[in-house]
Amino acid sequence: MKRILVTDGMEKSAVEKLKNSGYEVVERFYEPEELKEQIKNYDAVVVRSATKVRQPIIDAALETGRLKLIIRGGVGVDNIDVDYAKLNGIAVANTPNASSASVAELAIGHMFCLARHIHIANHTMRQGKWNKKQYEGIELSGKTLGLVGFGRIAREVAKRAYALGMKVVYTNTSGAKEGFNDYKYMKLDELLAVSDFISIHIPCSQDQQPVIGEAQFAKMKNGVYLVNTARGGVVSEEALLKALDSGKVAAAALDVFEEEPTKNERIYTHDRISLTPHIGASTNEAQERIGGEIIQIIQNFFE
C-alpha cells in the first residue's frame, strides 16, 4: 500500500477517495526537523505553502529512497527545491488550474476594499464612528491596473478587471503574450509609472530578495494602490510601510506576508492596509478542484 503524507490539509472528500482507492493517507503537519525523519516513510507528500521541501528534507528522503512524488496543492512551487528533487529521481507536480479564479477574485475584492475604504470603515463603524466624509473613494472603472507577472492567476484578474472597465497593462519575464490584445505589455518600470493599481502575481526570486522595494516604489505614481496575493517576500514590507507613510502608496492589500503568521505589528495595525490571512485559494470550489487534481496526479503516477 502506498503511503501519502498530507502536511498542510486537503479537502476531506479527496482524502476519502484516496483511502477508498487503496492508499494510506496521513494528515499531519511536521516541523522541519521532524519532517526529515518522517518523510523517509512515505511514497508521496502533498504540501501547500506552509511546508517547505528543501534540500535537507529531500536528502533525508533519499536515505530510504521511498519518496517518489511531491505535490504542491496550488500554483507556485517555490517552496520546493524542484530541480534538486527531480535530479534525484523524485517527481514534482502542482495543481496550476485549480485555484486561479479564487485568487483572482480575492485580488479584485481587495481592490474594491481599498478603493471604497471598506476595510477600515468596517472596523471604525464597530467602534461607533460615522466617518462618512473621510471615506470618499474612487471608482475602479477607467483606472489603469498593472499586473506584475502574467500567469494563470494574473490572466484571471485581467479578465475581471477589464469587465469592470479598467485599462489593463502587464509585465512578464518572457515578454508580450499572443492572444491578449485587450491588454498592453510593458516593461516593469513603465508599468510602475502609469498604473493606478498594481497587483503582484510572481513567485519569490531564487535569492529570496524582494522584487518590489524602495527603488520600485519610487517609480510608482503618487497615490498608487498595491495588492499582493502572490508571495510575501516579493514585496518588501519595510519599503511598503515607508511608501504608505509618505503617501506614495495610498493603500495596500496583503494576503501574503514575509513571515506567516505575520508578527509585524506595523503591518497588521496599519489603517491603510487591507489584510487577509493567506486565503487566496480558500474557497469551497478551489479546494474541491485542488483535491480532484491531486487525486488524478497520484493515480496517474502510481497506477
Contact predicate 280/99, CB 8 Å = yes
d(CA 148, CA 134): 31
Q: Can 285 be counted among the known catalytic residues?
A: no
d(CA 170, CA 273): 23
- Asked whether the bond before 261 is cis by omega within 30 degrees of 0, the reply is yes
- Per annotation, catalytic residue among 110, 117, 270, 278: 278
- Sheet containing strand 144-148, strands side by side: 184-185, 167-171, 144-148, 197-200, 224-228, 249-254, 273-275
Q: Can 260 be counted among the known catalytic residues?
A: yes
- Per annotation, catalytic residue among 231, 237, 258, 289: 231
Q: Can 231 be counted among the known catalytic residues?
A: yes
- Per annotation, catalytic residue among 16, 33, 260, 285: 260
Task: Supply the residues annotated as catalytic.
Answer: 231, 260, 278
